Amino acid sequence: MTELAKHKNSPSLLARYEKVFSVLFKYGFEDVLAHPPFNRFLPKFNKYIPRREGKPVYEFTRYERIRMVCEELGTTFIKFAQIAANRPDVLPEELIAELEQFQDQVPFIPTQDIVSVITEDLGKAPEELFERFDREPIASASIAQVHRARLVGGKEVVLKIMRPGIDVTIEEDIHILKQLAGLMESYFPQYEAFQPMELVKMFERSIRKELKFTVEANNLRRFAQQFRGNERVYVPDLYPEFCSDRIICMEYIDGHKITDLDTMQQIGYTGPELAVAGINLYFEQVFEHGFFHADPHPGNIFVMPDKKICFIDYGMMGAIMDSDKELLADLLLAVSERDVDGLKQALLRFTPDGTVENEKELDYDIVEFFDIYSSMTLDQIEGTEIIEGLNAMFFAYKIKIPGNLLLLLKALVIIEGVGLTLDPHYNIIANIDPFVRRLLRQKYGPDKMAKRAVKTLADITKMATGLPEDMETIVRKIREGKLRIEFEHKGLEGLYQKMDEVSNRMAVSILLAAILLGSSLIVLAEVPPYVGNIPALGFGGFVIAGLIALRLAISILRHGKF
């Protein structure tokens, strides 16, 4: 039984529903008031409108209000916003800009609660397990809190400990998010393009991984394995005997933040040298190992006194298949060479059937995309602008990109920012080019081509040997009258939906007219009993008709159809 099942009818879940809907009503109602014809009444009721930053909330944009909703609802919704910000193919750029403002910093929780988690999971109090345990945390995030400790024998470690009860809170909020996503898809078609249910499912998959620290421990082991023997990389040691689903214990890294340029010079690195060395290691993760750190901000990259580079925090990692690596290489190479047709073909390979609506418009958008950089040399082009331009095309043409590729594109923006901090002239497009070309050389190398030829030959042989039997089966079914052909109608869903809406409204209108007519006859016939001087049945009919008419009017206004 899940934690949610235990608490499904609990007061905490009901209270959470009340909080969520009150906040949604608060900002959603203001969203209605901010638009005609209701906004003309605002001056009369302005004093009753909630205010943020000294002004009424209806003066903020819709996307700012979405951010405020997540902010006010706390941990789970903030985390949802952060993860949703990784989907530029689904959400508009303006909304992503708002969601990216969240910082994963929250107040410290009482040390006694942390001690309770350690005691429950490891069987002993921290003072019995460690030579020293620092009760003062060194960092705190929405999911966990970090404390330093010293093992018996003197080894310095850090303990990442999950916040008590956060798993139950997140389960409750996932349940509520699914309900809200279902309502949005059913009753608010203007938000259908945002794929709310898909976003919630993506969040659910991601947050469940974060809630199991054994996954992070396995990520660290895998990362250490792929860089074993590499003298340029330092990977922290893991201490499994002090790990659990809610605790991860690893070596404390006594290194220096990669952007601390003064210290880097003392170690022996110049900014440009470090930019190339550190980011080339990142490209190696992506293009050679296919397993990469998905949050490479400066606080997660350290340089050791012996010049080795160390990545920390393995909670958010990405994996990329060989086929997607090759597809990404084709995409980046087309950008590098300003190849219009190459970029178009690479984009179309992301779509299920290799096509998009308004394909001609896509041609012109790609030409315009390259025209912006036509007068620039390669080292003048910023990778961030390139990726933002690609994201805009993903969204405009509803090109759905695999989640890990989007995670990688966002990570490339972050890593370029690190590179520019170290070297103002750093250019990620120029530096990624050798890795891309090497990958494509491997793709079309003799070994790969030979393997593909053998596989293709095997597939052809299998199909040819099975063809007589398949033909015999088809002929037999034709003779027996059992051959069935299925037809799939495409493009009619919108028509069906409109017909359904029209028929529903006609049915409601007929019902409304019948109630009004029947109520009028009862009033004219003066059928007792009475409410005042009006027949009660007739009066009740008018009230019901009024409510139905109001509901019908709201539905029409919501969809903007008159």
Q: Among 89, 167, 173, 295, which one carries the catalytic annotation?
A: 295
C-alpha dist (Å) from residue 453 to 15, 139, 150, 327, 382? 62, 54, 57, 20, 39
As a whole number of angstroms, the distance between CA 294 and CA 282 comes to 10
Helix, strand, coil in percent for the chain, rounding step 5: 65, 10, 30
| 365 classed as catalytic | no
How distant is the alpha carbon of residue 303 from its chain centre?
30
SS (H, E, C) 216-266: HHHHHHHHHHHCCCCCCECCCCECHHHCCCCEEEEECCCCEECCCHHHHHH
Amino acid (1-letter code) at residue 19:
K
Torsion of CA 375, 378, 380, 385, to 10 degrees: 90
As a whole number of angstroms, the distance between CA 159 and CA 217 comes to 12
Angle, helices 383-396 vs 428-443, to 10°: value is 60
Tokens coding 163 = 């916040």
Residue 233: strand pairing partners = 309
Asked whether 203 and 173 are in contact (CB, 8 A), the reply is no
Which residues touch 140 (CB under 8 Å, ≥6 apart)? 105, 106, 107, 108, 109, 146
Residue 530: strand pairing partners = 535
The SS3 call for residue 183 is helix
Helix runs in 34-146, H state only: 42-45, 62-73, 75-84, 93-99, 111-122, 126-129
Asked whether 393 and 399 are in contact (CB, 8 A), the reply is yes
As a whole number of angstroms, the distance between CA 312 and CA 522 comes to 78
Phi and psi angles of residue 132, each rounded to the nearest 5 degrees, phi first? -150, 140
DSSP 112: H
State the maximum Cα–Cα separation within the chain, in Å, rounded to a whole number.
101
Asked whether 296 and 411 are in contact (CB, 8 A), the reply is yes
b/e for 432-467, b at 16 or more Cβ within 10 A? bbebbeebbebbeeeeeeeeeeeeeeeeeeeeeeee
Output Rg (C-alpha) for the chain, integer angstroms: 30
Residue 37: cis peptide before it, omega within 30 degrees of 0: yes
Residue 529: cis peptide before it, omega within 30 degrees of 0: yes
Catalytically active residues, by annotation: 295
